[in-house]
Homo-oligomer: A and B are copies of this chain.
């Protein structure tokens, strides 16, 4: 095995890789297509490997070196049945581990410290490391979970706009804006909702926060419900002496003012998920027994 470690953040829109030396110093970066292992295992594998090759090329290292490096891949779905192991077996690295996207995000945010990480983007999910042990909750998707996700904020906005249209609940500027966008035709909202993917609903999340900040009663109600859900999940994970809570994802900054109760614990993430993957890969290089634990 060479003295190189590759960390890979395998995401639904792209795979990003970074190659580091034994001390964790990043010397090259690569990027390729998406990794959606649950829906397209084969192309995910190709993209994961391609991002690693590009990182080596970027560092001026021969591509064949890939077979003698240590690598850690973080990817959503790695914990679903045997998907993680199937990828692990097919990887060309001397030593390769496949872990969840949540784990590399937590490692990036907290480093080796204990703490809690809540990620808020299209979905929402929580992970904790306590006495070095990991646990996670949430992330069950927006149909029956992800209560604080952008997708749920958008779906709630559509629902409350229809209730306002029907005169069942009071309207507000934001419900008026939504109805106007759909030509004041509830059927068009229903049509949108029935074909909308989580990302389609999540596009309304910034609008919800904007109106909530201005005091729009309906928007405040939506965000307050989501913040209450965040509080419930944090309480389920929190323990006396928990050193910090990191909020990650595109909506982290927007939620912060609504989580004042947790302000003393809120901390900026140390690094991003890709960096977390690199850290775990360096551990794998220097201590294969403990690596990527």
Contact = CB atoms under 8 A, between A and B. Distances in A.
A138 interface: yes
Given A167-B236, A236-B166, A189 B158 contact: no
A142 to B, nearest CB: 10
Contacts of A24: none
Contact of A138 (B81, B141, B166, B189): B166
A125 to B, nearest CB: 10
Contacts of A166: 137-138, 233, 236
A81, A163, A196 — which one has the most chain B CB atoms within 10 A of its CB?
A163
Contacts of A144: 155, 158-159, 162, 189-190, 193
B143 A194 contact: yes
Contact of A145 (B137, B190, B233): B190
A112 interface: no
A169 interface: yes
A193 B138 CA distance: 15
Nearest to A137: B166
Contacts of A196: 143
A140 B190 contact: yes
A187 interface: yes
Contacts of A236: 166-168
A141 B80 contact: no
Contacts of A81: 187
27 contacts: A80-B187, A81-B187, A137-B166, A137-B167, A137-B168, A138-B166, A138-B168, A140-B162, A140-B186, A140-B190, A140-B193, A141-B193, A143-B190, A143-B193, A143-B196, A144-B155, A144-B158, A144-B159, A144-B162, A144-B189, A144-B193, A145-B159, A166-B233, A166-B236, A168-B233, A168-B236, A169-B232
